[in-house]
Amino acid sequence: MPSLNVSFSDEEMEGVRAAAAAEGKSLKQYLHDLGVREMHRKQFVAGATAWADRLRQEFDEAFPEEVPSTRRGGGAAAA
């Protein structure tokens, strides 16, 4: 199984160890889960953005008062 060595300053290592302990995990498991969690977060954000883009026109038509003025073509709203 692939692995890697990661360097931390003493201060950074102290913080990472504290975070791992707070979650009740070993340092190795904490760092593994952190990387996987970030990968899943990015996948979720990309999917949510694509979903929103697909539904934007339908939403804008159903709720025209919610469309930002910059997307209406009217420029910034007057104060």
Average pLDDT estimate for 67-76: 65
Q: What is the pLDDT of residue 68?
A: 80
Q: Is residue 78 very low, low, confident or very high in pLDDT (cuts 50, 70, 90)? A: very low
Average pLDDT estimate for 16-40: 97
Q: Is residue 73 very low, low, confident or very high in pLDDT (cuts 50, 70, 90)? A: low
Phi/psi of residue 67, nearest 5 degrees = -75, 125
Average pLDDT estimate for 41-48: 98
Helix, strand or coil, per DSSP, at residue 23: coil
Element (H, E) at 62: helix 27-62
Which pTM value belongs to this model? 0.63
Neighbours of 65 (CB within 10 A): 4
- Structure tokens of 6? 């990661």
